[in-house]
Homo-oligomer: A and B are copies of this chain.
Amino acid sequence: MAMEILIETSARHLHVTKEHLETLFGKGHELTLKKWLSQPGQFLAEEKVQVVGPRSSFPGVSIIGPVRPATQVEITATDARSIGLTAPVRESGDVAGSAGCELVGPAGSVTLTEGVIVAMRHVHLIPEEAEEWGLANGQLVSVRLNGSRPLTLHDTVVRVSEKYAKAVHIDVDESNAAGMTPSDGGEIIA
């Protein structure tokens, strides 16, 4: 059974706590909406920070809002090696014992002892879609990426919530490995 689905590639980005946002951008600072993203309530902010590793850094990494309970930097394995880190593949929010880095903003800097991860690919579904497709929260499926050099990702976790919009989220290494362009879609193979 193959079900067509939107494939979205997450560029490198970070989520920040209210406290870290104020350290980086100044007391009382709030994130500025640049663009709403596909997942309801999530938005690309105008604010960017420098992400500094032991070897080098990325100058202008975008923040995705709103603020969260923990600061989390999402990069690819290629990015991690490039700036001199080893970041584990983790589900969002699971940052214990992950890599550290320094964040530099216009008003100050933050030293993270953990929070840098390679985001584990995942499928977002609302309960009605999951039921229609016979999929359950936490289930692992394969996802075929129909790019110019097609491939099938295995062990991709399904996440089900009323707060989601139907899409598969992959990182830039996965997207490039499949030769994806924004118009290329995919299929869930359960």
Contact = CB atoms under 8 A, between A and B. Distances in A.
A113 interface: no
Interface residues of A, number: 23
A31 to B, nearest CB: 26
A179 B154 CA distance: 12
Contacts of A149: 89, 120-121, 153-155
Chief secondary structure at chain A's binding surface: mixed
Contacts of A173: 78, 173, 176-177
A148 interface: yes
Contacts of A178: 177
Contact of A154 (B151, B154, B172, B176): B151
A121 to B, nearest CB: 7
A77 interface: yes
Interface in A61-111: 76-78, 82, 89
Given A77-B176, A151-B154, A177-B178, 5 more contacts: A82-B82, A121-B149, A152-B152, A173-B176, A174-B177
